[in-house]
Every structure is written in C-alpha cells, then in structure tokens.
Amino acid sequence: MTNENEHQKLTLHDIDVNVVRKGSGPPLVMLHGGGGPISAMPFADRLAERFEIIAPTHPGFGGTPIPDRFDDIQDLSFLYLDLLEALDVRDAVLMGFSMGGWAAASVAVMTTERLSKLILVDAVGIKPGGREDRDIADIFALRPEHLAELMWHDTANAPNMAEMSDEQLQVMIANRTALAMYTWDPYMHDPRLKHRLHRIDIPTLLIWGESDGLVSTDYGKAYRDLIPGAQLEIIAGAGHSPQAEQPKAFAEHVIQFASEEVTGS
C-alpha cells in the first residue's frame, strides 16, 4: 500500500463501518477521539511510512448514522473485536485517542489475542479520584472558547468554527452528539474499567500532552499505574491532541515504541 487512502465499508453484524487504510508494514489500528476521524492528519502520513494504518470511523461520527442499539463505549469495543477478526488482523498495535483510548483499553482487557502492543493517547475511561472529585472536565458545560483553552496548548491550533462550511459545522455537531451518546452516563468513564486494566498483558505506552486540561498528566499517571509495566511519555507544547500540536514528536514516540522488539513472555 501507499500513503494514499483506501476507503472500505464493512458490514459487521448489521453495523456499517467506514475504514481508511493507508501505508504499509505492520498493522496499526487507530481509534479516533471525539473530534472525529484523524487519518488525514500529518502525523498519520508519517506513521504510514512505517505501518499499515487501519482507521475505522466510529458509528455516529464523520456523517455516519448512530446504530439504534448502540449506547456506550462497550458497543464500540465489541465492534472493533469483530473488525479485527473480519480483517484477520494479527499482531497489531492498537492506538486510541481520548474516547478511542477508552475503547482501546476496553478491547485489551477483554483479549489481546490479535494485538502486540497498546498505545493510549490522552485517554479517558477511568475515574481515579473519589465521588466528588472532578477528574475529567465537563466539556458539555463549557463555552467553546473555554473548551479550547482547556484542550489546546495554543488555542490558535483549535478548529475555527468561523472558517467552517455549513457541512463541516453539521458534521461537528453530529460528532458532538455521538460523543455525548457514547460517554455521558457515567460521564467519560466506566467505573469497572480501572479494576480490569491489570488484565492487559502486552506492552503499553501512554502518550500525554503536558498542557491537557481535559485529563491532566496526573490522570495519565494514574492510568499508567493501573496497567502492568506501562510507560508514560509526556509531550511539551501540546494539550489534549499532541498528535495535532506536536506531530513530529508524537510520531517519533509511536515509531520508537511500536518498533521495539517484545522480550519475554
């Protein structure tokens, strides 16, 4: 394959899934976050020089419909287990961003049979604090300008709604609706997940933006400490989307980790 996108539509047990494939090499399955598909971003082109990227779009994002029977992240996790099987993907690096990181972690606690490594990028999904602690900022209660300040190291890098077409705005609103559906109750976490992360038995890397105000680096450290042997890399000059704000540094962390030989068993 080349760096040009190959678009596929798969039907997995009555659910249609759009998948972008690009690059060549070992498989790297990429689960996007609440902002929607990111396979066209510069960091992905860099990774496609070393890996075959397999990037599904979560149902409900990118202009796709939300399945009637979907209502939480677990639905995505089972969908992607079906996807790995349908594509006969083996020894894949599974990388998830934000809510996609939550889905990736959920997949890995169920089975790592088709996986070689796991990468979680500014992932949500756990609640390390107590009942009254605000571990994850409430993005649905914030004005856009305040949300940009939380999520971006440099707000100039945030999407500019004033420059979007009507079609782009409609997709953005639909993405936000899907994000709320998957993550609202309970908000941005599964209370059972942190008690299951010990089951992850493959090398795991967490990558975090130093300026992330949605889930702080302390949240990242708590996540790391729940996964046996996991590593945490913090990227300066980046918020919740280090792959967008520091694409070169981000890609290098991924390449170095994903290319390392796995020792032991």
How does residue 106 score in pLDDT terms, banded at 50, 70 and 90? very high
Question: Hey, how many other C-beta atoms are within 10 angstroms of the C-beta on 107?
Answer: 26
Average pLDDT over residues 94-109: 98
The residue range of the domain holding 109 is: 6-259
Chain segment 26-60, per-residue pLDDT in tens: 999 999 999 999 999 999 999 999 999 999 999 99
The answer to whether residue 1 scores a pLDDT higher than 50 is no
Q: Which residue has the higher pLDDT, 160 or 48?
A: 48
Task: Provide the pLDDT for residue 187.
Answer: 95
The answer to whether residue 3 scores a pLDDT higher than 70 is no
Residue 85 forms part of a structural domain: yes
Which burial class, exposed, middle or buried, applies to 34 when counting CB atoms under 10 A from its CB (0-12, 13-18, 19+)?
Answer: buried
Residue 50 forms part of a structural domain: yes
Residue 225 forms part of a structural domain: yes
Q: How far is CA 190 from CA 74, 143, 151, in A?
A: 9, 26, 22
The tokens of 148 are what? 């940009």
Contact 122, 241 (CB under 8 A): yes
How does residue 5 score in pLDDT terms, banded at 50, 70 and 90? confident
The tokens of 28 are what? 């790297």
Question: Hey, how many other C-beta atoms are within 10 angstroms of the C-beta on 69?
Answer: 8
The answer to whether residue 108 scores a pLDDT higher than 90 is yes
Q: What is the percentage of the chain residues whose pLDDT exceeds 70?
A: 97
Residue 1 forms part of a structural domain: no
Looking at residue 2, what DSSP letter applies?
-
CATH number for the domain harbouring residue 98: 3.40.50.1820
Contact 59, 43 (CB under 8 A): no
Q: Which residue has the higher pLDDT, 232 or 133?
A: 232
Contact 104, 79 (CB under 8 A): no
Is residue 89 helix, strand or coil? coil
Secondary structure of 20-34 as H, E, C letters: EEEECCCEEEEECCC
Q: How far is CA 186 from CA 42, 44, 197, 252, in A?
A: 34, 31, 18, 34
Residue 265 forms part of a structural domain: no
Residue 137 forms part of a structural domain: yes
Distance, in Å, from the CA atom of 122 to the CA atom of 238, rounded to the nearest integer, reads 11
Q: What is the percentage of the chain residues whose pLDDT exceeds 90?
A: 92
Chain segment 162-182, per-residue pLDDT in tens: 899 999 999 999 999 999 999
Rg of the chain (C-alpha set): 17
Model's pTM, two decimal places?
0.96
Residue 226 forms part of a structural domain: yes
Chain segment 181-203, per-residue pLDDT in tens: 999 999 999 999 999 999 999 99
Is residue 101 helix, strand or coil? helix
Amino acid occupying residue 93: V
Average pLDDT over the chain reads 95
Beta bridge partners of 204: 118
Domain count, the chain: 1
The answer to whether residue 142 scores a pLDDT higher than 50 is yes
Task: Provide the pLDDT for residue 264.
Answer: 52
Residue 116 forms part of a structural domain: yes
